[in-house]
Structures are given as C-alpha cells and as structure tokens.
C-alpha cells in the first residue's frame, strides 16, 4: 500500500478503530480520513454515500459497529441487530459504488456456532445454532461477511474479512453495564482496592474459557491482511491460547494488586462455554501477535488509572 494513499478508518473512536489509527500513523500513512458519529451517521444510507463521494478513500477499515458485553447484547437486541446491519450495509455498498480499492471488514468470534469444535476453524461458520445471548450481533456480523463475499463474487469488489477473538486494551469500554469481561474486571478490582472492599463479584461460574488479544496486535494483523491478503475466505485472528474466567479474574487481581477475595455469582449468565480460534490460516500467512496477556493487561490498567485518576 502506498503510504500516501487515502485511508478511511470507520469507527476510529472505538477500541479497534483507535488502534488501527495508531498503527497506520506509525506505519507512515499520511492521508487518513476518520469517520465516526461526529463526522457522519453511518446508519444513514444517504449520508454515508455522500461522505464516501466527498472523501473518496482508496482503502477502508470498517471498524464501526455497535458492540457490548453479554448484558448489553441481551438488553438491547434490536439496537445490536439494526445498527450493525445498517452500518455495514451502508459502508460496504458506498465503498463499492464510489470505487474504493479495498475494504477490510471486522467480524467477531461470536459468529461461530455455540457448540462448534474448538479451536474454531473458519469452515465452522453456519454449521450450527448460535449462542443465544449474542445472536443478534452475530447474525449481523455473519451478514456482513456474506455481503463482502457476495460483492467480491458479483462485482469483483476487493473486500476481505477478519474475525478477531475477544479484544481489550486502551480505549476500551469500562462501563460495567455494557463492558466486556476484561475491562469490567479491571474496573471492579481497581475500585475494590481503592475502597478497601473485602471481595469482588465475578459473574457466572468462572468456568467459561475465553481467548484475549491486545488490541494493538489486532491492528497489526488488520494492516498485515490489508496489504497481503485478497481472498473470499475470512481469516481468524487471535493468540491461540485461552483461559477460564476464574483464571482471568486471578490474573487481573494480581495486576491491580487487590488482596481481597473473588466471589463467583452463578446467577449471572456464562455465555458460550469456549471461544478459542484456530489460527492455522493466519499463521500460514506469516503473522504472530507480540503482546503477552499479562503485559497487555498491565498496559491497559495503566491507561485506565491515568484516565480515571
Ligand atoms: P462474551 O465473551 O460474549 O460472553 O461476553 P463478556 O466478555 O461480557 O463475558 C464473558 C464471560 O465473563 C461470561 O461468562 C461472563 O459471565 C463473565 N463475566 C464475569 N464477570 C463479568 C463482568 O463483570 N462483566 C462481564 N461483561 N462479564 C463477566
């Protein structure tokens, strides 16, 4: 990719979009256009089309989405399915119609069937029922992947899709009602330490297994694939290791330095039992993530402390 080419990051204020922006800047890209709610309402078809006609980007990283943890997904199912379908349909179609050279769409590991064999291979998509707590979001993301594939088949549009595992890092959402587990635990342990509480409540049985990737590693993979991959099959991106929620809670407790107890609350939902991605495809392309989980949590915790004081 020519470092002078115009690159659009849709959703640049989000966890992933902001990391992609950092990565593009460090790679020497000089003409980056940013699209977020402040610039353009990507759920509005006409506004999205006007934005693309005006800005004329050559490359698009489509990281704009309505995202949230297990509670947000089950509380706002309509918002999750509608906003994601609208944003991705509008952006992919506007990109095609305004002559974008290449687009990268970001999916999510929750698109896989709940009981698909682990680690999850790309071929498992649409082979079984989804996890019901986030099927609204998953259905929208599956539609996005299929749309990118259909535009490639019918119009020769160069769209690729990347399927990230659970991500975390600076810029994450720390609102306990909508956050994913890792930022939620950072906040809970931090506040428990500050308030000298005796315990921290962790939702569910602690048994589900999750894989976590530091978001700057994901941004590396996004640029890597944009530059070197051009095929219909989407690509999993993860770290290749998972741990239980109980183990994660212990790790966050250590990083934050809270010496009280961990109390599990099994009345809260566990969600899918395991979500580990198979990385054969991306590994064969030559990509490996750099950041160890503890180091990623330490950096994220430092960012959280600096910001929240
Ligand atoms: P998921 O990966 O789509 O299931 O979404 P989450 O990141 O929200 O939740 C992952 C797992 O962590 C689930 O089993 C949750 O029950 C568990 N968990 C434990 N404590 C928390 C918490 O404080 N917030 C969230 N969001 N999840 C938690």
CA–centroid distance, 234 to ligand 1, in Å, is 26
DSSP helix/strand/coil, 144:
helix
Residues 6 or more apart in contact with residue 19 via CB below 8 angstroms: 169, 171, 215, 216, 218, 219
Ligand 1 center from residue 254 Cα (angstroms): 19
- Residue 157 CA to ligand 1 centre (angstroms): 37
Residue 244 CA to residue 62 CA, distance in Å, equals 30
CA distance 221 to 12: 16
The reply to whether ligand 1 has any atom less than 6 angstroms from the CB of 206 is no
268 within ligand 1 shell (Cβ under 6 A) = yes
3-state secondary structure of 7: strand
pLDDT of 73 reads 86
Which atom in ligand 1 lies closest to the alpha carbon of residue 210? 2
112 included as an active-site residue: no
DSSP state of 128: S
What's the whole-number mean pLDDT along residues 194-218?
A: 98
Q: Find the helix packing angle between 215-228 and 15-26, rounded to 10°.
A: 60
Query: Which of these is catalytic: 51, 112, 137, 214?
Result: 137
Structural domain spans, the chain: 6-170+211-241+276-291
Task: Classify residue 52 as left (phi > 0), alpha (psi -120 to 50) or beta.
Answer: alpha
Q: Which residue has the tokens 């290791």?
A: 241
Residue 11 CA to ligand 1 centre (angstroms): 23
- The three-state DSSP-derived secondary structure of 39-76 is CCCCCCHHHHHHHHHHHCCCEEEECCCCCCCHHHHHHC
What are the residues whose beta carbons fall under 8 Å from the beta carbon of 123, sequence distance 6 or more? Answer: none
Mean pLDDT of 225-252: 98
Question: Lowest mean pLDDT: which of 68-72, 238-242, 271-275?
Answer: 68-72
- Across the range 174-188, mean pLDDT stands at 95
pLDDT of residue 109: 84
pLDDT at 309 over 70: no
* DSSP, res 21: H
Does 202 sit in the ligand 1 pocket, CB within 6 Å?
A: yes
Is the beta carbon of 141 within 6 A of some atom in ligand 1?
A: no
DSSP 182-227: HHHHHHHHHHHHHTT-SEEEEES-S--EE-EEEHHHHHHHHHHHHH
Nearest CA to ligand 1 atom 27: 181
pLDDT in tens, 244-285: 999 999 999 999 999 999 999 999 999 888 999 999 999 999
- Determine the CATH number of domain 6-170+211-241+276-291: 3.40.50.720
* Max intra-chain CA distance, the chain: 60
Question: Closest residue (by CA) to atom 28 of ligand 1?
Answer: 181
Interval 199-216 mean pLDDT: 98
Confidence tier at 69 by pLDDT (50, 70, 90)? confident
Instruction: Please state the rounded mean pLDDT for residues 217-245.
Output: 98
pLDDT digits (tens, 9 = 90+) for 125-173: 999 999 888 899 999 999 999 999 999 999 999 999 999 999 999 999 9
Compute the distance between CA of residue 38 and CA of residue 14 in angstroms, rounded to an integer: 13
Place of tokens 């500050």: 194
Give the number of other CB atoms < 10 A from CB of residue 76: 17
Regarding the beta carbon of 245 and ligand 1, being less than 6 Å apart is answered yes
Distances (CA, A) of 253 to 186, 190, 244, 249: 8, 9, 14, 6
CA of 110, closest atom in ligand 1: 3
Q: What is the tens place of the pLDDT at every residue in 92-112?
A: 999 999 999 999 999 988 899
């Amino acid at each position: 990719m020519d470092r002078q080419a115009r690159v659009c990051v849709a959703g640049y204020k989000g966890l992933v979009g902001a990391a992609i922006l950092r990565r593009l800047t460090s790679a020497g890209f000089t003409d980056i256009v940013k699209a977020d709610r402040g610039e353009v309402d990507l759920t509005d078809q006409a506004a999205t089309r006007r934005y693309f006609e005006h800005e004329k980007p050559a490359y698009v990283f489509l990281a704009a989405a309505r995202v949230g943890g297990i509670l947000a997904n089950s509380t706002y199912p309509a918002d999750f399915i509608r906003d994601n379908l609208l944003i991705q349909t509008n952006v992919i179609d506007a990109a095609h119609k305004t002559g974008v050279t290449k687009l990268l769409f970001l999916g999510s590991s929750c698109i896989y069937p709940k009981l698909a064999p682990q680690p999850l291979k790309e071929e498992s998509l649409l082979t079984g029922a989804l996890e019901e707590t986030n099927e609204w979001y998953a259905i929208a993301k599956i539609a996005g992947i299929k749309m990118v594939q259909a535009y490639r088949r019918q119009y020769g549009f160069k769209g690729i899709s990347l399927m990230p595992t659970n991500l975390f890092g600076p810029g994450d959402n720390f609102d306990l009602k909508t956050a994913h587990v890792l930022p939620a635990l950072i906040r809970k342990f931090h506040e428990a330490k500050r308030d000298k509480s005796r315990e921290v409540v962790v939702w569910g049985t602690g048994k589900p297994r999750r894989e976590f990737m530091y978001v700057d590693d994901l941004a590396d993979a996004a640029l890597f694939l944009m530059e070197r991959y051009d095929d219909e099959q989407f690509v999993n991106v993860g770290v290749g290791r998972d741990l239980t929620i109980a183990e994660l809670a212990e790790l966050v407790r250590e990083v934050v330095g809270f010496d009280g107890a961990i109390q599990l609350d099994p009345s809260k939902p566990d969600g899918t039992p395991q979500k580990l991605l198979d990385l054969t495809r991306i590994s064969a392309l030559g990509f490996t993530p750099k950041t160890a989980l503890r180091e990623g949590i330490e950096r994220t915790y430092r960012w959280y402390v600096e910001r929240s004081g």
